[in-house]
Amino acid sequence: MKWYQYVYYNYGNCYLPWWTMVTYYPSNLPKDPINEGNWTVYAYQQDHESVININFPAENWSFEQMNALPLNAPFPAYKALGNRTAPVILTQLVGDAVGVTYFDGIIYVPSDANELYAINAYTGKLIWEATTANSVMSNPIVVNTSRGPIVYVSVGDAGFSASHSIFAVITGNYKNVVRGYSYGAVYAFNATNGQLLWVHFDDGNVMPTPAYIDGLLIYGDGSGHIVALNATTGQVVWRDYVGVSAFDSMSSTNYYVFPNGTTIAIMGFTLALPPYGELIAVNVQNGQIVWEFALPKGFTPFNTGMGDVSPAVDEEKGIVVQSTIVNFNKTNETVGFAVFALNATNGHLLWIEQLVRGYVPPAFKGGVPTIYNGVVYVGTPVANELFALNETNGKILWVAQIPNVQGPPNGAGGGRANPVYVNGYIIEPAGAYIDVYNASNGQLVKSYYVGGRFGIVNAVVVGSTVFVDNSYNWVFAIPLNELIS
Amino acid sequence: MKWYQYVYYNYGNCYLPWWTMVTYYPSNLPKDPINEGNWTVYAYQQDHESVININFPAENWSFEQMNALPLNAPFPAYKALGNRTAPVILTQLVGDAVGVTYFDGIIYVPSDANELYAINAYTGKLIWEATTANSVMSNPIVVNTSRGPIVYVSVGDAGFSASHSIFAVITGNYKNVVRGYSYGAVYAFNATNGQLLWVHFDDGNVMPTPAYIDGLLIYGDGSGHIVALNATTGQVVWRDYVGVSAFDSMSSTNYYVFPNGTTIAIMGFTLALPPYGELIAVNVQNGQIVWEFALPKGFTPFNTGMGDVSPAVDEEKGIVVQSTIVNFNKTNETVGFAVFALNATNGHLLWIEQLVRGYVPPAFKGGVPTIYNGVVYVGTPVANELFALNETNGKILWVAQIPNVQGPPNGAGGGRANPVYVNGYIIEPAGAYIDVYNASNGQLVKSYYVGGRFGIVNAVVVGSTVFVDNSYNWVFAIPLNELIS
């Protein structure tokens, strides 16, 4: 098989700390791909409904990435680390933490093993792969530009260095709390052949997924900045400082377009000091803050919650929905799980509900909500439950227990990714299963065994096929009718 | 060229999170290697005198590791991270943090880019390389065993996870402060061909170098444990818990043999609570604590200092020497630099001297001392100085300024590795140079330009050749007479 390999040691005048090796198999490109617009935001749509309604066949394949584990293997280092830490380290440092992207007949797969894969969506064959300087925990963004289709991925990690960590607290100097132990960066590759176009390094992690808006890539980083890059060149267009001790962990940028065309970018930040967390909306043209939202009295965000979850946006109704863990009880070490909705125009609170109390999830501190047809669907790793809420007032329509979540009550949580609505069903991967619920009453319809473990992985439905990846470094194409009939 | 490649997906019944790939070039093995005993402890000898007096020729070669940077390149991501953070991330996550090991004609090179290299000491040609699950920040230990020569390397990282970091402090729960963001482990490879013999995973980092004593590998880890492994099988023989919120960052194990043959293993721990740091000695046979030493009143260890430095041991006089930063001044953010000596038998303080005050070093918080002929040689990154002290009372014999250390006053520090005594000279790499001093008065004799940057890298002198590696992923063999004449 004919293939090409490129090794990039630098870009412009700047050397890469890890070179980027791209291996390209042109003969594996899709023959007549069906394109359906740009993938500009985490989980495809502003409302996090990851469904592409095109005429795509029912495919069935699996792709084993580098370092893939047998699907029935126990977590590596399980004995040394236990069932709370072993799966977290695997997901945050080796396997795929978040879901895949579809664009133009290609599935882009982000791997924490410092890899990005481009795979033929029809055949499961590798088109190209590229190495990066840190874990790819972002959902790849793919956009047609004047330079052709470009795939953007951000890289970063969830660690802290000693100087930004406990010693910052001991010395009382919170000024420099930065999330991200190793390099944070954004990479731009030619989406078809993997050619490296540019790299932008950042201070702190770039774990969250940037949003592509009006030619800019916009994201929050681990150093308390909101950054806008020119998507064509990688140059910084503007860069805001949110404030001391603020960082965006995994809160991928969403956006809302005002009726007059003004667009705001919205994302969550964790603050190490009161109010401990904020949702921030900035004007995409100049970075000016349009509104900031902190939780009301009675709801104190805990841990990385507010900086973890990507808010969902209902463009039509002008509503933003997010979740976070709140109100840590030091005595029994439990937390509450809150979901709230804001007016997208001014950030005013529409409703907030504390739905359950439970244990502190071991990593991602919330559930990514989806808004579909007036209903908010959101899982919670605090209690391994899935909720359907009235979008207008937050009242519970139904609640379902997520089955088969690995580990005992304090084990790794289920229900972290955005639930996806398809034909009257909700699809939500959790643990080693893809679970399917009746969307109208929450009844569990099917638990489809895959094996391994799902991170914050949502299903991506393209026509008649569902695509998922997992923490064991696999990618799967599953015919939709195997999940719903 | 004939070569072999092995990929290890598991060992025993346990899957590896990153498979270990070993590539072996048997034709590059040394023809008639000269062996000179086992390399059982960090920096070769208990007194940290890294000199092997054998008849070895004057070689001159350089070896470019994977991801090597041009020696005159600026630090990657320098613009985004600045001159305090960019070199630290490079050294802690990509390049070589500590010095090399010589054994039987082979140089073993630990790389933070998750690699171990075995290189022909005569020719600079690659014999084998192996990938690991995390950074190799340890000085490889090589020992002839009943299974042939084995090279042991420990892996780990200097990061913290969120749950072991600032939120531990916010919630007041210090119980679980563990250092190490990703996997910590010890690997055993056949020293000749790289065959993987066993892997032991650990809770927290294993950045420090284990000592090989009486068939055991003994080390402190990031979770506050002291661990003894059977060096042949990798099984845990005993495992001590030092206490809550204790971790060994980079304090490699040393040892002392009592006149009656009883051997103690000695290493430093950082404590997040008072007394903030300890030196601990355990009986190697059963792990029982023989003595614990905390600094006296007037000396409060700061940051990771006590857990960073490997103590030097004078076996003949029964003296242990270590350094640490102390007495942080919150107002001007300076620290003191203290060196102290203990009675190796009971851990009683013989002397302690605060030598200088200066800025907080960006990473490694001390200087590894060497004891040679009644003199303690120790550098300090706090002030970029090199000291010679009377071993008996700690009085300063001379002090020398380390020249050419990169960056402004708060830049990366020099003088972290153990100085090495050769023929009346002291060799100490710092910044981009190998500096040579007159051992009797501290006068700078030569600054030999290498390029790149040295981490905690000591020179290893084998006969007529000096071996060093650096943070830019290079290994060098330099004829000794180019440094001293």
**Euclidean distance between CA atoms B39 and A484, whole angstroms:** 62
Helix (H, G, I), strand (E, B) or coil at A384: coil
Contact B81 A16 (CB under 8 A): no
pLDDT at B409 over 60: no
Report the percentage of chain B scoring pLDDT > 70.
96
B303 interaction partners in chain A (CB closer than 8 Å): 162-163, 167
Q: Are strands B460-462 and B14-24 parallel, antiparallel or unpaired?
A: unpaired
Residue B274's contacts (CB-CB under 8 Å, 6 or more residues apart) are none
pLDDT at A407 over 70: no
Looking at the DSSP bridge assignments, the partners of residue B338 are B324, B354
Contact A159 B160 (CB under 8 A): yes
Instruction: Check which CATH number belongs to the domain holding A134 and give it.
Output: 2.130.10.10
* Lowest-confidence region among A159-168, B49-58, B84-93, B118-127: A159-168
Looking at the DSSP bridge assignments, the partners of residue B446 are B436
- The identity of residue A410, as a single letter, is N
Looking at the DSSP bridge assignments, the partners of residue A357 are A336
Q: Are strands A115-120 and A106-111 parallel, antiparallel or unpaired?
A: antiparallel
Give the model's pLDDT for residue B1.
Answer: 64
Q: What does the DSSP 8-state code read for residue B403? A: P
Residue B297's contacts (CB-CB under 8 Å, 6 or more residues apart) are none
Q: What is the pLDDT of residues B177-202, one digit of tens each?
A: 899 999 999 999 999 999 999 999 99
Task: Name the E strands within B31-174.
Answer: 51-52, 61-64, 101-103, 106-111, 115-120, 126-131, 141-145, 148-155
Q: What does the DSSP 8-state code read for residue A91? A: H
Q: What is the pLDDT of residues A369-398, one digit of tens each?
A: 999 999 999 999 999 999 999 999 999 999
- Nearest CA distance, A37 vs chain B (angstrom): 33
- Contact of A196 with A187, CB cutoff 8 Å: yes
**Euclidean distance between CA atoms B409 and B62, whole angstroms:** 31
Q: What is the pLDDT of residues A187-233, one digit of tens each?
A: 999 999 999 999 999 999 999 999 999 999 999 999 999 999 999 99
| Token pair belonging to B132 | 């690991």
A79 interaction partners in chain B (CB closer than 8 Å): 14, 201
**Euclidean distance between CA atoms A129 and A107, whole angstroms:** 12
| Token pair belonging to A372 | 């579909």
Of B166, B181, B249, the CB nearest to A166: B166
Which position has the higher pLDDT, A406 or B342?
B342
B328 interaction partners in chain A (CB closer than 8 Å): 171
**Euclidean distance between CA atoms A428 and A168, whole angstroms:** 39
Residue B251's contacts (CB-CB under 8 Å, 6 or more residues apart) are B208, B220, B267, B268, B269, B306, B307, B308, B309, B310, B311
**Euclidean distance between CA atoms A97 and A460, whole angstroms:** 14
Closest C-alpha to B7, from B94, B89, B145, B130: B130
Q: Beta-carbon neighbour count of residue B37 at 10 Å?
A: 13
Mean pLDDT of B278-291: 97
What mean pLDDT is reported for chain A? 94
Contact B77 A162 (CB under 8 A): no
Give the model's pLDDT for residue B12.
Answer: 78
Q: What is the pLDDT of residues A13-69, one digit of tens each?
A: 789 999 999 999 999 999 987 777 899 999 999 999 999 999 999 999 999 999 999
**Euclidean distance between CA atoms A428 and A448, whole angstroms:** 10
DSSP code string of A307-344: HHPPPEEETTTTEEEEEEEEEEETTTTEEEEEEEEEET
Chain A interface, best mutation among B75, B93, B161, by max A CB count within 10 A: B161
Mean pLDDT of B98-114: 97
- For chain B, the residue count is 485
Looking at the DSSP bridge assignments, the partners of residue B118 are B108, B128
Helix (H, G, I), strand (E, B) or coil at B163: helix
**Euclidean distance between CA atoms B94 and B114, whole angstroms:** 8
Give the model's pLDDT for residue B34.
Answer: 74
Which position has the higher pLDDT, B250 or A409?
B250
Strand order across the A444-449 sheet: A420-422, A425-430, A433-438, A444-449
- Nearest CA distance, A184 vs chain B (angstrom): 9
- Contact of A235 with A217, CB cutoff 8 Å: no
**Euclidean distance between CA atoms B267 and B279, whole angstroms:** 6
Closest C-alpha to B304, from B265, B266, B268, B340: B268
**Euclidean distance between CA atoms A420 and A462, whole angstroms:** 12
DSSP code string of B330-387: TTTTEEEEEEEEEETTT--EEEEEEEEEEEPPSS--S---EEETTEEEEEETTTTEEE
Chain A interface, best mutation among B163, B235, B453, by max A CB count within 10 A: B163
Closest C-alpha to A212, from A190, A231, A236, A191: A231
Residue B240's contacts (CB-CB under 8 Å, 6 or more residues apart) are B225, B226, B227, B282, B287, B289
Contact B182 A330 (CB under 8 A): no
Of A90, A170, A183, the CB nearest to B77: A183
- Which residues in chain A (95-114) have CB-CB distances under 8 A to chain B? 113
Residue A440's contacts (CB-CB under 8 Å, 6 or more residues apart) are A424
Q: What is the pLDDT of residues B380-403, one digit of tens each?
A: 999 999 999 999 999 999 999 999
- Which residues in chain A (341-380) have CB-CB distances under 8 A to chain B? 362
| Token pair belonging to A455 | 């991170």
Task: Please report the ipTM that was assigned to this predicted complex.
Answer: 0.94
Give the model's pLDDT for residue A215.
Answer: 96
Give the model's pLDDT for residue B408.
Answer: 43
- Contact of A209 with A252, CB cutoff 8 Å: yes
- Which residues in chain B (400-459) have CB-CB distances under 8 A to chain A? none
**Euclidean distance between CA atoms A355 and A338, whole angstroms:** 6
What mean pLDDT is reported for chain B? 94
pLDDT at B273 over 60: yes
Residue B12's contacts (CB-CB under 8 Å, 6 or more residues apart) are B198
Closest C-alpha to A320, from A286, A283, A348: A348
- Nearest CA distance, B67 vs chain A (angstrom): 5
Closest C-alpha to B186, from B150, B158, B161: B150
Residue A404: pLDDT band (50, 70, 90) is: confident
Mean pLDDT of B231-260: 94
Of B14, B159, B171, the CB nearest to A160: B159
Contact B93 A167 (CB under 8 A): no
| Token pair belonging to B25 | 């070039």
- Nearest CA distance, A108 vs chain B (angstrom): 21
Residue B79's contacts (CB-CB under 8 Å, 6 or more residues apart) are A14, A201
- Nearest CA distance, A382 vs chain B (angstrom): 15
Phi then psi dihedrals of residue A151, to 5 deg: -105, 130
Chain B interface, best mutation among A11, A13, A15, by max B CB count within 10 A: A15
| Domain extent for B187 | 4-483
pLDDT at A166 over 70: no
Give the model's pLDDT for residue B410.
Answer: 53
Contact A166 B169 (CB under 8 A): yes
Contact A167 B303 (CB under 8 A): yes
Closest C-alpha to A321, from A391, A248, A374: A391
Closest C-alpha to A323, from A292, A283, A351, A290: A351
DSSP code string of A211-225: EEETTEEEEE-TTSE
Report the number of distinct structural domains present in chain B.
Answer: 1
A249 interaction partners in chain B (CB closer than 8 Å): 162
Closest C-alpha to B252, from B139, B339, B365: B139
Q: What does the DSSP 8-state code read for residue A301? A: B
> CA angle, corner B359, sides to B353 and B365, nearest 5?
65
Give the model's pLDDT for residue A408.
Answer: 44
Mean pLDDT of B475-480: 98
**Euclidean distance between CA atoms B383 and B396, whole angstroms:** 15
Q: Is the peptide bond before A419 cis (omega within 30 degrees of 0)?
A: no
A169 interaction partners in chain B (CB closer than 8 Å): 166, 169-170
